[in-house]
Amino acid sequence: MKCGFDIDGVVCDFVSGARDGSKNIGLDLSDKNIMSEYHSKPDAYENMLADEAFWLNLKPIRSSWHFINDIFYKGHDVFFITSRFKDEAISVTERWLDEWGFMFCKVLFTENATGKARAYESLDLDFFVDDLPSVASAVASVGSAYILKHPYIEDSISRPVAYEYGVKEIMELKELYGIEVEK
C-alpha cells in the first residue's frame, strides 16, 4: 500500500512543543488557539517558529513512530505531506524525521488542503491521515482520508463536513492495521 501522513499532529507533537514554547515567551495559548489561529499570532510566537531549534526539538508521537516504521518494514510505501510553510521548518523537516528514525519514501511540502489532495492523487495513495478535518475533507474528495483525533478539533466547524465526505476518525494510527482500501 501507498500511505500518506501529515507530520504535525500525526507523527510530530507540534501542539505540546508550541504550548511549551509559548509559555517560555510569556504567552498563555490553549491548544485550540495554537491550532485555530495559526497565522495570526504575536511577533514573539512567530519568532519562535522562525527558529530551526524549535522544529528540531519537537517530540514525535511515540505510537505513530512505531506504526510508521512497522508498516514501512512490512513493505508499504510511506509518504509525508505537510503544510509547513516557514523556511526554517521546511529546511529541517527531513533531518527531524531522520534523527527520530522515521522510515519513509519522500516528504512533500504543500501550501494548503488542496495541495495535499493534489499530492494524494499524484502519488496514487491508498489513504491519508491528517489531524485537521478541513484537510481530511479535501483529501476525501479524491480518496480515502482519516482524522487522527485530538481535543483541539472537538468543536471544529469543519468536523461535521469531514464526515459528510466519508472521513473516518481514529484515536491512534494502529487502528489502520488491516484496513481494506478501495480504489
C-alpha cell of residue 171: 484515536
* Strand, helix or coil for residue 130: strand
Hey, where are the domains in the chain? 2-13+60-176, 14-55
Comparing 70 with 89, the larger pLDDT belongs to 70
CA distance 50 to 37: 17
pLDDT at 118: 97
Q: Would the pLDDT of 39 be above 90?
A: no
Instruction: List, as own/partner pairs, every contact residues 163-171 make where C-beta atoms lie below 8 angstroms and the sequence separation is at least 24, other chains included.
Output: 164/137, 165/136, 165/137, 165/140, 165/141, 166/140, 167/133, 167/136, 167/137, 167/140, 170/129, 170/146
pLDDT at 155: 59
Rg of the chain over Cα atoms, rounded to whole angstroms, equals 16
pLDDT at 179: 80
| Domain 2-13+60-176, second-level architecture | 3-Layer(aba) Sandwich (3.40)
pLDDT at 93: 94
Q: Would the pLDDT of 86 be above 90?
A: no
* Model pLDDT for residues 51-73, shown as the tens digit of each residue: 899 999 999 999 999 999 999 99
